[in-house]
A = this chain, B = another copy of it.
């Protein structure tokens, strides 16, 4: 997905929010803002938004020395989600269609997002789960995903956020795990899941897990490791969670299913779906 002009003020606001999370030093916040303003001048519309987010976070890291601003946020949401896990797992198991229920749970987990829901609490998460379980979804796409999973030999499941990965585990446990490679980010960016979170969620080692080799909150192929790129090339099915993966992979031609909540007006415009809408979206040529 391209970058729209309305992404630019949003980038700037985000960089200010992160600066304030990391430092109380006004002069340092201002220095970050000026560097980000310069960086935003060079944004090209054909680039995907997560590339700019990655670049802004590099600026913030280099100026503040803080490698992981959302560290405690990620821990909190892993903890909350793990506390819910047994109940959610039971709900999947007793449901009429465990695959679809787990799929809906996995999308509900995408509510956990530091950008659009910095103030997210447990009650909002419950609300989101109920909403995701009951909202209308395109049944033919769900059936298409289920049959793609059973036909595929090598599935890449690209995760999004910490906490959310616990919800992904519900879906992974309804899939033939031996065929699946779970993917996390190469290093901390926003509240996105890294290897540590996949382990905390109990995904790794039960599902083979690799990282992208990149610090982008999405999949920017040129910045990913050779290992990840090879695995992507070999995969015959990709499942990608969250807006960041959608924004960076929406033009990819491989068979791909995107599971996410629409969180901003730009993605809403690009997909034609309203903000807050739960999406199971078939991309690629598949």
Chain A residues packing against B (C-beta within 8 Å): 5-6, 8-10, 12-13, 16, 26, 29-30, 33-34, 37-38, 40-41, 45
A16 to B6, CA, bound (A): 7
A–B complex contacts, Cβ < 8 Å, 8 sampled: A5-B16, A5-B29, A5-B33, A9-B9, A9-B13, A12-B12, A37-B38, A38-B41
Chain B residue, CB-CB nearest to A40:
B37
**Distance in Å from the Cβ of A12 to the closest Cβ of chain B?**
4
Chain B residue, CB-CB nearest to A6:
B16
For A6, what are the chain B residues with a Cβ–Cβ distance below 8 Å? 13, 16
A169 to B162, CA, bound (A): 58
**Distance in Å from the Cβ of A63 to the closest Cβ of chain B?**
14
For A38, what are the chain B residues with a Cβ–Cβ distance below 8 Å? 37, 41
- Is there an interface contact between A30 and B5, defined as CB atoms closer than 8 Å? yes
**Distance in Å from the Cβ of A204 to the closest Cβ of chain B?**
38
**Distance in Å from the Cβ of A121 to the closest Cβ of chain B?**
22
- Is there an interface contact between B8 and A12, defined as CB atoms closer than 8 Å? yes
Beyond the given A5-B33, A6-B13, A9-B10, could you list 7 further A-B residue pairs with CB under 8 A, ordered by the A residue number?
A5-B26, A6-B16, A9-B12, A9-B13, A9-B16, A12-B12, A30-B45
For A9, what are the chain B residues with a Cβ–Cβ distance below 8 Å? 9-10, 12-13, 16
A29 to B6, CA, bound (A): 11
Given known contacts A30-B45, A37-B40, is B8 in contact with A16 (CB within 8 Å)?
yes
For A45, what are the chain B residues with a Cβ–Cβ distance below 8 Å? 30
- Is there an interface contact between B37 and A41, defined as CB atoms closer than 8 Å? yes
Partner of A33, one of B8, B10, B26: B8
Chain B residue, CB-CB nearest to A26:
B5
Chain B residue, CB-CB nearest to A27:
B45
For A26, what are the chain B residues with a Cβ–Cβ distance below 8 Å? 5
For A8, what are the chain B residues with a Cβ–Cβ distance below 8 Å? 12, 16, 33, 37
A32 to B83, CA, bound (A): 50
